[in-house]
Amino acid sequence: MSQANNDITGRLVLITGASGGIGSACAAEFAKHGCDLALTYSSNKESAEALKHKLLAGSEKETTPLGNQLKVTIHKVDLASPEETTKLCEGVQKEHGRAIDILISNAGYGKRIRDVSFVPLPEIS
């Protein structure tokens, strides 16, 4: 039985909800490991572009472990739409010239509620 290759160097990573917080931190870590990145955002294009610039600026000083430059693309998408999700995957494959290897499903929608004990049950569901 062959062993799994868990080396992520050179893999293409799609990170949803990458414009801030956990998504941007994941992007930075994958970039350090030499992964190409496709980053999505829903409404915060400025943050997504800033993250792309930061990642590429850091990679200009050195090449990835495979000896090539890091490739980062950003994509606006509403992941609640099956059509947009399909177009996203097709677009990422076209721009990067290969299939997605790793998915980090980080996008979400929510609202902040300080104390959920006072929220009526129908409002939660």
The domain locations on the chain are: 12-107
CB atoms within 10 A of CB 16: 22
Q: In 10 A of CB 113, how many CB atoms?
A: 11
Query: How many Cα atoms within 13 Å fall on the side-chain side of residue 23?
Result: 25
* Rounded Cα gap, residues 41 and 87, in angstroms: 14
Q: What is the pLDDT of residues 2-36, one digit of tens each?
A: 888 889 999 999 999 998 899 999 999 999 999 99
pTM over 0.75: yes
Q: What is the pLDDT of residues 51-68, one digit of tens each?
A: 999 999 876 655 555 566
Alpha helices in the chain (DSSP H): 21-32, 45-60, 82-96, 121-124
Instruction: Assess contact for 21 and 84: CB atoms under 8 A.
Output: no
Superfamily of domain 12-107: NAD(P)-binding Rossmann-like Domain (3.40.50.720)
How confident is residue 69, by pLDDT bands cut at 50, 70 and 90?
Answer: confident
Average pLDDT, the chain: 87
- Check residue 81 and give its pLDDT: 93
Q: What is the pLDDT at residue 62?
A: 55
Does 113 or 98 have the greater pLDDT score?
Answer: 98
Task: Say what the pLDDT of residue 111 is.
Answer: 65
Binned at pLDDT 50, 70 and 90, residue 101 comes out as very high
Q: What are phi and psi of 49, to 5 degrees?
A: -65, -40
